[in-house]
Structure 1
Amino acid sequence: MGLLVAHYARPHTEILTVPAAFANYGKVSKQQYNAKIWQDIGSNGDFISVAAHYNQNRNNFGGSPFRASAFTGDKSDRFYDVAGGYPCQVSQTSTPNACGTDFERRFNPSNTGNVRANSKFTLAERLTLSVDGAYQWVKANGGGTTSANETFFTDSTGFTGTGNYGGSFYFGRDLNGDGVLGRVTLLQPSQTNTRRWVGIANLAYEINDSHRVRLSYSYDRARHRQTGYAGFLDDGGTPFDVFPINDPVLDAAGNALQKRDRKSIAELNQIAGEYRGQFFEDKLSVLIGGRLPFFKRELNQYCFTTSSGGFVNCVPEDQQADYIATHPYSFNKTTGRATGSALPQARKLKYDKFLPNVGATFKITPEISIAGSYAKNLSVPSTDALYNAFIFPVNSASAYRAPETSDSFDASLRYTSSKVQAAVTGWYSKYKNRLVTAYDIDGNGTDTNLGPVKKYGVDANISYSPIKEITAYLFGSYIKSEIQNDAVTGSCAATSDIALAGLCYVQDGVAYLRTSGKRERSAPKYLFGGRLQGNLGDFTLGVQAKKTSSRYLNDINGEIQSVTLTDGTSKMIFPGAKFGAYTVVDLDLRYSLASVGMEKGAIQLNVSNLFDKYYVGSFSGGLDTLASSSSAFVNFGSPRAISASLIIGF
């Protein structure tokens, strides 16, 4: 018998009085639709199901650029007006003002949909096949505005044209109709359109009640079309359309200009297998497995690459011949340096490696057990990092981007009884070519290869329920992160904040950052917390708390400090930042409506951040990101909030 389950979330719009950025601007519009069809097959639990989901979001950016309160914890700085003013009026001349350009007024819209199929078939008494598949579609962007040029682009080579050069648009026509070729504020987000197919097949065979084997195959193919068109703003600084790709701004010749233009295919074919066995009257459980992933990247760059930092010049096709003639490309094999503009091109890259994993659990007594495991892992460089290498010839050593590999070990001691569940786990991970990704505010990723990194720590938790109505839970983690080598950097200027703090040096003409022995950015030293919950009839009351230690903004672990210069004067420098530790307490109360005939109904009250702690939840960071950097931003934790929900189940 088939079962149809459908869910509809009504479209709604909210004007948020306390947006995530805590500025006087914030708007969210959301609509969501879900549906599912389920068909049972026979009496073995076999089935086929098909589900679909569609979600549409329209919202502005959360977080904010760095504010002094990110370090001082001064709560009075939490709420503020956007710098450009709101409401405001966009300049009607060719000299732009700040209206509509604020970080908080950047939009992050998305249209996403997927269709998912799941199934399970019993092929024989102990042989089971499951097949799952999905198709996903995404249209999304993120980013802000630009002061676009109405003039043509010209440089010292004699080239003149339209396009996007050095991150700036040049349209060669009057965009706002004032009769003057100056500049005008336009929307310029980074657009991504994704089509993704996923398929997973698992074949499981139970040799007997104590021994099982499984073989699986996974397929994942995603087509990413990444563009960067420009769009117009209305008089109040709001985009006419948050998706400029729908109606992009054209240049004088009718070309739709953009700041990036590339198409990528990310494909994975993976086979995996595992054996699970139990021995000595089920006291010993063993897992032996492995997987062999084959990653393939098909990259198509339609713009000219000008640096290894990901900078490109996007030239309309009708002007590319002139641009190539005036901007010749060259590569010095001896120094490994490239100059000029690398041509639009396509590349194919492949990564594969056998990745074993083993684990075992042994019950010393019915309550006490020990366990251990080992796994080798592989992480492929991001597509952004791979595109950055296009400045180098395809077969050169400089063009190669190594994948991250790691070996991870853990060992634990566990105790389980009717009233107590507890575990202590020690873990160790050794990385080669540790890849850490930082995202800029336009949604483009940049990879940092930290080289070898060691991480280790201890996780512990205990849950105690003296009576069924009361449960107490405690957890804690200690994390050690240690970068092994100093990282190469572009320069170490003697007057820079990083040099004044003694965090960089030059050796044999190469500049290095002092990252050896430092912690990875964003990695806290410890986390701990707990929850106390009581069940009193129809009422459930819970309180929980979590403390997070301080975290560094960058991998050189620099802190804001005062230094004495050679002339004897003092200077405040900003080689980085260390965000302080914070504790958040939440409270929840739930009342079951079962006593009034609604078995699956309840009323729930939640209070988050009970003591209204002001803290930095997450932040952008990089290898040597400075606290004074204009590109750095933080996401402040949400202030105290109270919410009530009526839950009705069918």
Structure 2
Amino acid sequence: MRTKLYCSVAFAALMIPAGAMAQSTGTVEAEEGEIVVTGSRGPVTIDGIQIPETPKARAVLTQELIERRAPGQTILDTINLIPGVSFTNSDAYGGSGGQIRIRGFDGNRIALTFDGIPLNDSGNYAIYSNQQLDPELIEQVNVNFGSADVDSPTAAASGGTVNYRSLIPTDELHAAAVYSRGTNDMNRAFVMLNTGQFTSFGTKAWLSASTQKYDQFRGPGTIYKQQYNGKIYQPIGNNGDFVAIAAHYNQNRSYFYSNPTFANIRTRVAGAGATIPTTGSAANPYTLDLSNNEYDYVFDDTSSTYRYDYACDLQSQPGGTGSQTDRNSCNNIYTTAFNPSNTGNVRLNSRFEVTDKLLFTLDGAFSFTRANGGGSALLAETDASATSANGTYAQQYAQTSGRLGAGIAPGVDINGDGDRSDFVRVYFPSNTRTRRYTAIAGLRYQINDDHLVRIAYTWDSARHRQTGEASLLTNEGRPQSPFSSLDDGTTPVLDAAGNVFQKRNRLSYAILHQVSAEYRGGFFDDTFKVALGVRAPFFRRNLNNYCYTIAGQSSDAYCTSQTAAQVAAFDTANNSVSLGAPYTRRIKTYNAVLPNVGFTFNATPAISMFGSYSKGLSLPRTDNLYGFDDVSISPVSAVDPEKTDSFDLGLRYTNRLIQAQVAGWYVRFKNRIISSQTLLDGNQTINVDRNVGDVKSHGVDASLAIKPVRWLSLYGFGSYTIARLQEDATDPLTGRVLVPTAGKFVVETPKWQYGGRAQLNLNPVSVGVQAKRTGDRWVTDVNDLKAAGYTLVDLDARLDLGFAGLDRTFLQLNVSNLLKERYFGNLSTVSNAFPYTQGTVTTNAGGPRLTFGAPRTFIGSIHFEF
């Protein structure tokens, strides 16, 4: 029986096509056709790690490794084992999100796809790591460095792509259940049913559900997540044709961690007798590297400076005559530092062989999102109080700038106490609702055994509705609905005209039409292969802003029921602000021709060389286009799309025992866009984009996987990255130099990363240990502050209970951060941490925030199958 098992695994490894590492069904089939028709070697797997024979630099992890990680963990944490990838998790379970970078490119510049459909936010292109598919359902995940496939439906792939694919249903009836219990009162349950073939046509399907709940490791707040998935697979004939329809729904209810600013840390460690300087510069940068005692002293501070309050008493709620104020009430409560999201999709993948040479593929999807990032604001009931002696415009804006009166009354009695003399704190999130349709159609023609061509058409259309309704809080400062007054039955804040008071009200359509073509050929008995492709995307942004544009501010707007004349009078009275009139059908278009070429050369059956060139593109973020109106508010120069020229050249050595790859790469990044961020009341922010010219990056990625004996596998990886800005950042409104970024290293990007994994398989026990060193990372654009590097060690151990008569049942223990490393994970980067003078202008410190890394965490699981 055991001999049969090993033979089956080996045969499966031989037959897995390279196409399994691609995104769309069309790309899968193009690469699979190349493998199957020409008879080339399929990829080898060493305990879940693959190095595929492709022209592009690419890495793959399969379910064999994914299932060893902590149950419920985001798939982006798993790919942290791939060289060049840096992912920082907000907690040990993945439900609070995190930040990813690949070769110095952040998540907004990395395309993420799920069964070929795009997952990046259509407004800001962000990746939300806590909304991904349950790891038990992922067949494999792959990373393309610096390039996208020719039919990729993405507006942001200058940094590469991350693609994962869901499992195909099994032929036999099969069920699985997993229960996990962990540190911080974590409970997770996962169930899955494979129906097996249940019709005479071979129809098969699976259904799954999961739920997870745990407390935050620091401060108040609970993370709750539930997810439901299903897939039905219909084979057509016996030549590989099929139609697959799948559905996914994910619901998150999570709270943000309260993390200290650099200034907070400086103040706190002073109490422990340590000193952090108050001055610094790019010439004399400071590395934040706390000792264990200093770190613990900051971590253990329970004051409201370092943590959100668990409870509060809203001062405006009791009512009664006289002035009441929530200015210092409930402004730090954890219940409004809230991040609810409902996301889902329905996906179609299909393949049809028209003739023995012509193949048609069609992928499609409908996806939706409803989410916000929480937040509260202080509203002045009287218009005069909102604009008098409040200093900056940011303060005036946060307290409504006279908008509640709607130009027809002196204000509004928000809390219903019979007067208009109060300052009332309200729930004030930025709601986003997205409906998105995607289709990818492709034709592949097999010219002969060695050559094929294909063409594809890609369409992607997202309706992106963004509002910001205000609603009343309870006596304890809690929201009455996760999505404020977006839903019926809540208590909206109305202005004097009876309209819901909002911070923004806009509608965007992000539309892509793309045509692409590719040729793949093999020469000299398939020792030399080439891939020549080109994609031509045509992007359109249809922008509608039903509020007044605030110059340079894209997160908020001046929403009001006042007349245009009244708004103009306010605009004139406030010299620090410029408002643009509401508009509809403002159109922005972006087009490009993006070639990519690559080759592989097999010098011997085990040794090969590969190389590729690709041009990438990332558009200005749709959301940030609302910082201007191109009529009364225009930038000195328009924010241009980012473009990259990426080159890779490398060597591979692969056989059944060893997989090794080393690649050198160079990326020229043109028109890099950076965004300034300013904090408003209630943890809200405003952003503005600007180009900072070129970024030049280069580096080396290397990995080695060895299986010297059947019961042991070893894997090591490392990456070296240099990424520097070439020009200073300027104010898009005036052209003045804002930040001296020329020559500075890109933030959040470690120069060095390295690590490895060892796995010992001694039936019935198997143990895996992995470690990764993440080097120092810059926190500021001017490079005056960096966060010290850190090393994380994780353990996974499994006991197979087959010896006790419980077939397909095992116990698993996962320990993350085994050695209790103290470190800062996510970084809230800003322009500078210390004051500096640029010309005649002195810029104050920006106050970056640093996220505490999750402490050591234990998770025990029991896994049943039948």
TM-score, reference length from structure 2: 0.65
Distance 1:509 1:358 in 2: 38
- Structure 1, residues 434-480: CA drift from partner, whole Å, max 9, x if none? 12457776487643422111000001111122112111111000000
Retained in 2: the 8 A contact 1:65–1:631?
Answer: no
Alignment of 1:547-626 (within 5 A): 547-558=773-784, 577-595=785-803, 600-624=808-832
Contact 1:553 1:578 in 2 (8 A): yes
Q: Is the 8 A contact 1:143 1:443 kept in 2?
A: no
Structure 2 counterpart of 1:494: none
The residue that corresponds to 2:325 in the other structure is 95
1:374/1:200 CA distance change after superposition, 3 Å: same
* Paired position in structure 2 for 1:249: 493
| Residue 154 (structure 1) shift | 7.6
* Residue of structure 2 in register with 1:37 after alignment: 232
> 2:310 matched to 1:86?
yes
SS in 2 for 1:517: coil
C-alpha separation in 2, matches of 1:509 and 1:604:
58
CA shift for structure 1 position 47: 1.3
- Equivalent in 126, 139, 142 of residue 370 of structure 2: 139
- TM-aligned CA distance change 1:237 to 1:509, over 3 Å: closer
1:406 maps onto 2:406 in alignment: no
Quick one: higher RCO (CA 8 Å, sep 6+), 1 or 2?
Answer: 2
CA distance in 1, matches of 2:338, 2:736: 41
Q: Structure 1 residues 313 and 461 mapped into 2: Cα distance closer, same or farther (>3 Å)?
A: closer
- Cα–Cα, structure 1 residues 30 and 418, in superposed 2: closer, same or farther, change >3 Å? closer
Aligned to 2:430: 190
Per the alignment, residue 433 of structure 1 pairs with: 671
Seen in structure 2, the aligned counterparts of structure 1 residues 442 and 7 have a Cα distance that, compared at 3 Å, is farther
Distance in 1 between residues matched to 2:720 and 2:793, nearest whole Å:
20
Report whether the alignment pairs 1:112 with 2:355.
Answer: no
CA displacement, residues 117-176 of structure 1 (integer Å, 9 cap, x when unaligned): 12111111122211111111111100311111111258999xxxxx99623335322222
Tell me which residue corresponds to 1:223: 463
Give 1:193 deviation, angstroms: 0.6
Preserved contact between residue 65 and residue 630 of structure 1 (Cα < 8 Å): no
Query: Structure 2 vs 1, CA of residues 79 and 154 (structure 1 numbering), >3 Å: closer, same or farther?
Result: closer
Residue of structure 1 in register with 2:10 after alignment: none
Give the 3-state SS of the residue equivalent to 2:297 in structure 1. helix
2-side partners of 1:631 and 1:91: how far apart? 30
Cα distance in 2 for partners of 1:203, 1:338 equals 56
Question: Helix, strand or coil: the match of 1:648?
Answer: strand
Tell me how far apart the structure 2 counterparts of residues 626 and 201 of structure 1 sit (CA, whole Å): 53
Secondary structure in 2 aligned to 1:610?
coil
Gap change, CA 1:514 and 1:261, over 3 Å in 2 = same
| Shift in Å, 1:63 | 5.1
| Alignment partner, residue 174 of structure 2 | none
Shift of 1:483: 1.1
Distance, in Å, in 2 between the alignment partners of 1:117 and 1:509 is: 48
Displacement after TM superposition at 1:205 (Å):
2.0
Partner of 2:596: 357
The yes-or-no answer on 1:472 pairing with 2:673 is no
Which string of whole-angstrom CA distances, capped at 9 and with x for unpartnered residues, describes residues 186-234 of structure 1? Answer: 1111110101001111222222222122211111100111111112221
1:484 aligns with 2:726: yes
**Equivalent of 1:283, from 527, 539, 542?**
527
Q: Is the 8 Å Cα contact of residues 368 and 413 (structure 1) preserved in structure 2? A: yes
- 2:696 aligned with 1:454: yes
Deviation string 1:3-46 (CA, Å, 9 cap, x unpaired) is 23222235x654x1xx15x11x1112333222222222111121
Which SS does the other structure have where 1:75 is aligned? helix
Answer yes or no: is the 8 Å Cα contact 1:389–1:400 preserved in 2: no
CA displacement at 1:538 relative to structure 2:
2.3
Query: In the TM superposition, what is the alpha-carbon distance from 1:379 to its structure 2 partner?
Result: 0.9
Instruction: State the match for 2:626 in structure 1.
Output: 387
CA 1:423–1:509: 2 relative to 1, 3 Å: closer
**What residue is the counterpart of 1:333 in the other structure?**
none
The 1:406–1:509 alpha-carbon spacing in structure 2 relative to 1, beyond 3 Å, is closer
What amino acid sits opposite 2:339 in the alignment?
N
List gaps (5 residues or longer) in structure 2: 1-200, 270-287, 319-323, 389-393, 405-410, 836-843
- Residues 374 and 490 of structure 1, relative CA distance in 2, 3 Å threshold: closer
Q: Unaligned regions of 5+ residues in structure 1, if any? A: 158-162, 331-336, 492-507, 559-576
Does 2:855 correspond to 1:639? yes
Return closer, same or farther for 1:585/1:88 CA change in 2, 3 Å cut-off.
Answer: same
User: Do the aligned residues in 2 keep the contact of 1:165 with 1:312 (CA within 8 Å)?
Assistant: no
Partner of 2:414: 175
1:326-347 C-alpha deviation (Å, 9 max, x unpaired): 53699xxxxxx99732111231
Q: Secondary structure at the match of 1:81?
A: coil
Cα-to-partner distance string for 1:308-327 (whole Å, 9 max, x where unaligned): 24375524335344223553
* Equivalent-residue separation in structure 2 for 1:117 and 1:61 (angstroms): 35
Q: Cα 1:132–1:460, aligned 2, differ >3 Å: closer, same or farther? A: same
* Alpha carbons of structure 1 residues 305 and 265: separation in structure 2 relative to 1, 3 Å: same
The DSSP-based 3-state class of the residue aligned with 2:500 is: coil
Q: How big is the shift at 1:521?
A: 1.1
Where does residue 76 of structure 1 map in the other structure?
A: 297
Deviations 1:262-321 (A, max 9, x none): 111001111111111111111111111110001100111122123224375524335344
Task: State how far apart, in whole Å, the 2-side matches of 1:454 and 1:13 are.
Answer: 43
CA 1:514–1:327 in 2, change beyond 3 Å: closer, same or farther?
closer
Deviates more, 1:105-114 or 1:263-272: 105-114
Question: Which of the numbers 586, 597, 606 marks the counterpart of 1:367?
Answer: 606
Shift of residue 624, structure 1, vs aligned partner: 3.7
Alpha-carbon distance in structure 1 between the residues aligned to 2:313 and 2:342: 29
Higher strand proportion: 1
Structure 1 Cα separation of the partners of residues 577 and 483 of structure 2: 35
Q: CA deviation at 1:647?
A: 2.1
Q: Is the partner of 1:317 in helix, strand or coil?
A: coil
Question: Residue 558 of structure 2 aligns with which residue?
Answer: 314
* Native 8 Å contact 2:327 2:378 kept in 1: no
Alpha-carbon shift at residue 87 of structure 1 (Å): 2.8
Q: Deviations 1:562-606 (Å, cap 9, x if unpaired)?
A: xxxxxxxxxxxxxxx210110000000022344556654332110
1:341 maps to: 579
Q: Report Cα offsets for 1:398-419 as digits up to 9, x if no partner.
A: 3622111110101001112332
CA distance in 1, matches of 2:669, 2:617: 10
SS at match of 1:72: coil
CA distance in 2, matches of 1:594, 1:273: 51
Alignment of 1:125 with 2:362, yes or no, is: no
Match of 1:3 in 2: 204
Deviation at residue 362 of structure 1 after TM alignment: 0.8
- Residue 59 of structure 1 aligns with which residue? 254
Task: Tell me the secondary structure at the aligned position of residue 324 of structure 1.
Answer: helix
User: 1:80 and 1:241, CA in 2 relative to 1: closer, same or farther beyond 3 A?
Assistant: farther
Q: 1:285 to 1:590 in 2, by over 3 A?
A: same
Q: Is the 8 A contact 2:779 2:848 kept in 1?
A: no
Question: Partner of 1:644: helix, strand, or coil?
Answer: strand
Q: Residue 429 of structure 1 contacts residue 455 of structure 1 at CA under 8 Å; is this kept in 2? A: yes
Change (3 A) 1:599 1:204: farther
Q: Which of residues 434, 444, 454 is equivalent to 1:214?
A: 454
Instruction: Quote the Cα distance in structure 2 between the aligned partners of 1:240 and 1:338.
Output: 35
Q: Percent identity?
A: 39
Question: What root-mean-square deviation, in Å, do the aligned CA atoms of Structure 1 and Structure 2 show?
Answer: 3.0
Asked if 2 retains the 8 angstrom alpha-carbon contact of 1:438 and 1:620, the reply is no
Assess if the C-alpha contact under 8 Å between 1:176 and 1:184 holds in 2.
Answer: yes
CA contact (8 A) 2:313 2:475 kept: yes
Post-superposition offset of 1:382? 0.4
Structure 1 residues 515 and 630: alpha-carbon distance in aligned structure 2, compared to 1, 3 A threshold? closer
